[in-house]
C-alpha cells in the first residue's frame, strides 16, 4: 500500500469513529483522546420544579391599620387572659392573630364573622335592643361602648347567635350598634377548648373583677372598686365576671383587631357626636364618624394587606413550621410585646 493510500484509509477510520461519537474532532481535523471526548460531551440535566409556598388568605378579616402594627402571631397566653382587666376593657392592646393559609379555614372563619354581622343587623339601635328585653349595663365608655345586657341570650356555651350583650356607640335610644359581646361562665377560657369554633379561638377572652353595680344592674365602678365608696353610691361590689369576648362591626372596625377586647376607635368623640346627632339616620351605617383618632402610617378603614407587607408574613410562626416562610424583617424580636 502506498503512503497516500494508507493516509486515506486512516482518515476513513477517523471519520467513522467521529460519526459514532468516539472522537470529537471533525474529519480531517486534529485528533482527540477518549477522555477529552468525554469531558466535552454536553450533559442534559432534568428541569426541577418547586412549589411556591401558599400565601395567607386572612388579610381581609382585619384592617390595614391592624396588619401594619405587625400583630403577634401566637396566642398571648397569660396576657390574653387578663386578670387585671379594667372597666374600659382589656388593656393589652392589639390582639394576637394566628396566620391562616388554608382556604377552607379562612372560608369557615369568614362565614362566622358574617354571621355576627347578621346578628348585629337585628338590633341596629339601642332602642331595638331595649325592645328585645335587653337592659343597660353600662353607659357609653370609651373603648368598649355602651353595653346592653340580654338575659334571654344566656347560654351554657358559645352560641354565635346569642351574644350576651349588644354594644352601642352612644346613650340615646337612636345610638347605633358597634359590636357584640359574648360571656361564658367557665373555669378556663373558651379559646382553650380543643374543638372550639374558629371565632372562639381567635377572641382574646378576658374577665372583670370587683365591678361596682347598682340595684338597676348598671355598672357604676370599674375593676377592684372600693367597697365603701361603691356602697355609698348605692352599689355592690361584684365578684369575677364570666369570660368576655368582643366582636367589632365592619362599619366601626377596631385597629387592634376584629376581636380585640377594646376598640380604640370608640373614643369620647364617638359618644358625644352620636348623642348630639341622634336623629341623624346615617349613624346606623357610619356609627364611628365622630371619632377623633387617626392611625399611622396609613390606617385607613380599609380591610386587607398593606402593599408593602410580605403576603407570607407570619407563616413561619405559630406552629406552621415552614422556616422558608419567615420574613426576616418581621421576626419575633421585631414584634416585641406591643406594650402588653
Helix (H) or strand (E) holding 6: helix 3-19
Q: Which residue has the higher pLDDT, 266 or 337?
A: 266
Task: For residues 94 and 196, state if they share a domain.
Answer: yes
Task: From 255, 271, 291, give the residue that closes a domain.
Answer: 291
Inside any domain, residue 286? yes
Task: For residues 26 and 82, state if they share a domain.
Answer: no
What 3-state class would DSSP assign to 178?
A: strand
Inside any domain, residue 45? no
- Has residue 76 got a pLDDT over 60? no
- Please, are residues 90 and 82 in contact by the beta-carbon 8 Å criterion? yes
- CA 222 from chain center: how many Å? 29
Domain that holds residue 191: 74-207+242-291
Inside any domain, residue 335? no
304: cell is: 386587607
Spatial distance between the Cα atoms of 66 and 202, rounded to a whole number of angstroms: 15
Inside any domain, residue 305? no
249: cell is: 362591626
Task: For residues 166 and 280, state if they share a domain.
Answer: yes
Task: For residues 122 and 15, state if they share a domain.
Answer: no
Chain segment 251-293, per-residue pLDDT in tens: 999 999 999 999 999 999 999 999 999 999 999 999 999 999 8
Task: For residues 94 and 173, state if they share a domain.
Answer: yes
Phi, psi dihedral angles at 40 (to 5 degrees)? -90, -10
Q: Give the per-residue pLDDT at 136.
A: 93
> Exposed, middle or buried, 250 (CB in 10 Å: 0-12/13-18/19+)?
middle
What DSSP state is assigned to residue 74? S
- Please, are residues 237 and 118 in contact by the beta-carbon 8 Å criterion? no
Cis peptide before 297 (omega within 30 of 0): yes
What 3-state class would DSSP assign to 169?
A: coil
Q: Cα Rg for the chain, rounded, in angstroms?
A: 33
Chain segment 19-70, per-residue pLDDT in tens: 444 344 444 444 445 555 455 666 666 666 677 778 999 999 999 999 999 9
Inside any domain, residue 25? yes
Inside any domain, residue 20? yes
Number of independent structural domains in the chain: 2
Task: For residues 80 and 27, state if they share a domain.
Answer: no
Task: For residues 259 and 197, state if they share a domain.
Answer: yes
- Strands, E, within the chain: which ranges? 135-141, 145-149, 165-168, 177-184, 212-214, 219-221, 235-237, 243-248
Task: For residues 16 and 127, state if they share a domain.
Answer: no
Residue with cell 358625644: 272
Using alpha carbons, select from 213, 198, 134, 141 the residue that is nearest to residue 171: 141
Helix and strand counts by DSSP (H, E) for the chain? 9, 8
Task: For residues 22 and 152, state if they share a domain.
Answer: no
Task: For residues 143 and 285, state if they share a domain.
Answer: yes
Inside any domain, residue 60? no
Task: For residues 33 and 123, state if they share a domain.
Answer: no
What's the predicted TM-score (pTM) here? 0.73
Task: For residues 258 and 134, state if they share a domain.
Answer: yes
- Has residue 337 got a pLDDT over 60? no
Burial of 21-34, coded b for 16+ CB within 10 Å and e otherwise, reads: eebbeeeeeeebee
Chain segment 290-315, per-residue pLDDT in tens: 999 876 555 567 899 999 899 999 98
Spatial distance between the Cα atoms of 321 and 144, rounded to a whole number of angstroms: 36
Helix (H) or strand (E) holding 68: helix 64-68
> Exposed, middle or buried, 162 (CB in 10 Å: 0-12/13-18/19+)?
middle
Inside any domain, residue 95? yes
Amino acid at each position: 500500500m502506498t503512503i497516500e493510500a494508507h493516509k486515506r484509509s486512516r482518515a476513513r477510520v477517523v471519520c467513522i469513529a467521529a460519526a459514532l461519537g468516539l472522537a470529537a474532532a471533525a474529519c480531517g481535523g486534529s485528533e482527540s483522546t477518549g477522555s477529552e471526548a468525554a469531558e466535552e460531551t454536553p450533559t442534559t440535566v432534568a428541569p426541577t420544579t418547586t412549589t411556591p409556598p401558599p400565601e395567607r388568605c386572612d388579610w381581609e378579616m382585619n384592617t390595614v391599620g391592624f396588619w401594619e402594627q405587625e400583630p403577634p402571631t401566637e396566642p398571648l397566653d397569660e396576657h390574653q387572659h387578663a386578670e387585671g382587666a379594667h372597666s374600659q376593657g382589656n388593656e393589652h392592646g392589639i390582639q394576637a392573630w394566628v396566620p391562616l393559609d388554608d382556604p377552607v379555614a379562612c372560608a369557615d372563619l369568614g362565614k362566622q364573622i358574617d354571621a355576627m354581622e347578621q346578628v348585629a343587623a337585628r338590633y341596629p339601635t339601642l332602642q331595638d335592643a331595649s325592645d328585645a328585653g335587653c337592659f343597660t349595663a353600662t353607659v357609653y365608655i370609651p373603648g368598649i361602648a355602651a353595653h346592653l345586657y340580654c338575659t334571654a341570650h344566656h347560654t351554657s356555651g358559645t352560641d354565635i347567635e346569642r351574644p350576651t350583650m349588644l354594644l352601642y356607640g352612644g346613650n340615646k335610644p337612636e345610638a347605633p350598634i358597634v359590636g357584640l359581646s359574648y360571656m361564658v361562665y367557665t373555669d378556663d377560657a373558651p379559646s382553650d377548648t380543643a374543638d372550639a369554633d374558629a371565632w372562639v379561638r381567635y377572641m382574646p377572652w378576658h374577665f372583670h373583677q370587683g365591678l361596682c353595680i347598682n340595684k338597676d344592674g348598671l355598672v357604676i365602678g370599674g375593676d377592684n372598686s372600693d367597697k365603701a365608696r361603691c356602697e355609698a353610691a348605692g352599689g355592690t361590689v361584684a365578684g369575677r365576671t364570666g369570660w368576655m369576648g368582643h366582636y367589632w362591626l365592619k362599619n366601626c372596625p377596631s385597629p387592634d383587631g376584629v376581636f380585640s377586647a377594646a376598640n380604640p376607635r370608640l373614643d369620647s368623640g364617638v359618644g358625644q357626636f352620636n348623642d348630639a346627632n341622634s336623629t341623624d339616620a346615617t349613624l346606623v351605617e357610619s356609627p364611628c364618624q365622630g371619632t377623633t383618632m387617626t392611625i399611622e402610617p396609613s390606617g385607613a378603614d380599609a380591610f386587607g394587606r398593606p402593599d408593602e407587607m410580605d403576603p407570607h408574613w407570619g407563616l413561619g410562626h405559630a406552629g406552621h413550621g415552614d422556616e422558608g416562610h419567615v420574613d426576616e424583617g418581621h421576626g419575633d424580636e421585631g414584634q416585641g410585646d406591643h406594650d402588653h
